[in-house]
Amino acid sequence: MADETNDGQKDGQNKDRGEKPAGPNMAGDVGALLTGLKTTLSEAFKPVVTTMYPEDKTPRSERYRGRHYLRRYDNGLERCIGCELCAAACPVGCILVIAAENTDENRVSPGERYAKTYEINMLRCIFCGYCEDACPVQAIVLGPEYELSDTSREKFIYTKEKLLEPLPPDVQARLDTKDQPHRPASPGTSP
């Protein structure tokens, strides 16, 4: 290859000086062309590297930050205690939490309060995962789904019902291994 390149340069210099190019240079140039043709043809018979996207997907990290989920305890109570730390931590302000008091007749979460409204604006969310970090009771986690396109702006406001959908099993398994709160429980949890 190197020889051919040099021949090509010599050829050009000869032409600049007005001399006739020598025979071997011509052969070298043609050889370079044939090398190129051989390369492309051999590439054509190698397997394609494309991932057939909707059918095949590239593997994601175990800690991939996709859409959010609100979690429940095993007894069915919601984890969220309406403390709004996630909303405070959110750099783009896409989380809206309106808390309400738990009563004995209507107990939604084990704590003093629960989230009456919990909405995330997915158009604003930057999937930084700060809400997951901020949450004292591990109520909100970011799941693996990234195909979130939809047909209207309203559908991107994920409401509490949508966020409370059961987690994908692999995420559940990951969380089960480290389910202990990494911070001391906030005072609100102990009535």
Partner 1 sequence: MNDLYSNAIGHWVIVILAMGILLVVVLTATAYTVWFERVALGRIQRRPGPNRVGPFGLMQSAADGIKLAFKESFIPDKTDKLLFVIAPGIAVVAAFLAWVVIPIGLWYNVQYWIADVNVGILIIFAVSALNVYAIVIGGYASNNKYSLLGGLRSAAQLISYEMSLGLSLVPTFMIVGSLRLRDIVEYTVHWGLYTGPLPLVILTPVGFIIYLISAVAETNRAPFDLPEAEQELIGGFLTEYSGLKFVMYYLAEYVNMITVSALAALLFFGGWYLWVVPPVFAFLLKVVLFLFLYIWVRGTFPRLRYDMLMRLGWKVLLPLSIANVIVTGIVLVAVQG
Chain residues in the site for partner 1 (CB under 8 A) = 33, 36-37, 39-41, 43-50, 52
- Rounded to a whole number of angstroms, the minimum distance from the CB of residue 29 to partner 1 is 11
Q: Which of 100, 94, 107, 104 is nearest to 163 (CA)?
A: 94
Nearer to partner 1, 57 or 153 (CB): 57
Q: Where are the alpha helices (DSSP H) in the chain?
A: 2-16, 23-44, 85-89, 130-134, 160-163, 169-176
Nearer to partner 1, 45 or 178 (CB): 45
Nearer to partner 1, 21 or 129 (CB): 21
- Rounded to a whole number of angstroms, the minimum distance from the CB of residue 18 to partner 1 is 12
Nearer to partner 1, 2 or 52 (CB): 52
Return d(Cα 1, Cα 7) in angstroms, integer: 10
Return d(Cα 3, Cα 28) in angstroms, integer: 8
Nearer to partner 1, 16 or 154 (CB): 16
What are the residues whose beta carbons fall under 8 Å from the beta carbon of 109, sequence distance 6 or more? 77, 78, 79, 80, 81, 82, 102, 115
- Rounded to a whole number of angstroms, the minimum distance from the CB of residue 146 to partner 1 is 21
Return d(Cα 121, Cα 93) in angstroms, integer: 9
- Rounded to a whole number of angstroms, the minimum distance from the CB of residue 140 to partner 1 is 38
- Rounded to a whole number of angstroms, the minimum distance from the CB of residue 41 to partner 1 is 7
Whole-Å CA distances, 62 to 127, 130, 148: 15, 17, 19
